[in-house]
Copies of this chain bind each other. A is one copy, B any other.
């Protein structure tokens, strides 16, 4: 199973999408039920990507600045795992004296590429607005 970062980002952005004003990272963390530092780390990436803005100091917090209709899940996925080669698997160096050992990393990298491209295409079909409108029905 993947780590929870992608799920955390979706949670964060969904929560922001239904919130009118600034909400705090502690509030978000208590909704997710995880540590607020994890939330702030993801927020840092979301901010860098231009999805949210933050207000430091008293009564500060986080606010969504990108239209949730235009936030597709592939964007979040890319923000989370960019360049990670999620499906390539093994980190051990395979035996170069074996035909498969010599080639497996390239094979896996190819598989990873095709799979990831398909994945992003699928994720692009759903926006945060879709997700939160579903739950309002």
Contact = CB atoms under 8 A, between A and B. Distances in A.
Interface of A: 1-8, 10-11, 14-15, 18, 30-34, 73, 84-95, 98-101, 103-104, 107-108, 111, 114-115, 118-119, 121-123, 125-126, 131-132, 134-135
Nearest to A104: B11
Q: How many copies does the complex hold?
A: 2
A61 to B, nearest CB: 15
A104 B85 CA distance: 26
A10 to B, nearest CB: 7
Given A32-B94, A89-B7, A123-B115, A135 B1 contact: no
A115 B122 contact: yes
